[in-house]
Amino acid sequence: MSNSPPPADTPTPASDAWLDAIAWDANGLIPAIAQEKDTGDILMVAWMNREALRQTAQKGQAVYYSRSRGKLWHKGEESGHFQTVHAIRTDCDSDVILLTITQHGHQPSIACHTGRHSCFYQRLENPASPAPHWQAADPVLKDPQHIYSQ
């Protein structure tokens, strides 16, 4: 699967024009932010390639591109914590995707592989002191070993 757009001399199907409008990076990727519809919480940031974005739009569920595994990743395929997509937006530069989602799966609602509701659980403590540090501010809702051993 290629992450790059077709060569200039290859006609792009009209149905792909919306994908061509995206400012893909040099690796054919774009960051995607998952924001929870009901709370407004930012749950996670991941990456998408053209096929991930296409499948997300077609399925109505979040599909990302795993850079570490080099393949598409349907959110929830291993954990059971799927994301229903309500809206797909891009910013003014078309270089970031914002997904408005509902997080599903075993309760409590978990989006992070650490077993937390959100991947943004670390808060900078004492930022103006001589010793600022990151502190986990949100609890682990479920042991990750129990999530991924299903």
Does 95 carry a binding-site annotation? yes
Please, how many CA atoms are within 13 Å of residue 113, restricted to the half-sphere of its CB?
7
Specify the residue for token string 């299903």.
Answer: 150
Does 20 carry a binding-site annotation? no
In sequence order, what are the residues at sequence separation of 6 or more whose Cβ sits closer than 8 angstroms to the Cβ of residue 38?
A: 102
Neighbour-count burial for 89-128, b at 16+ CB within 10 Å, e otherwise: ebeeeeebbbbbbebebeeebbbbebbbbbbbbeeeeeee
Bridge partners of 134? 124
Does 38 carry a binding-site annotation? no
Does 138 carry a binding-site annotation? no
Pairing state of beta strands 97-103 and 30-36?
parallel
Distance of CA 22 to the CA centre of its chain: 16
Does 92 carry a binding-site annotation? yes
Does 112 carry a binding-site annotation? yes
Q: What residues are designated binding site?
A: 91-93, 95, 112, 119
Q: What residues are designated binding site for Mg(2+)?
A: 91, 93, 95
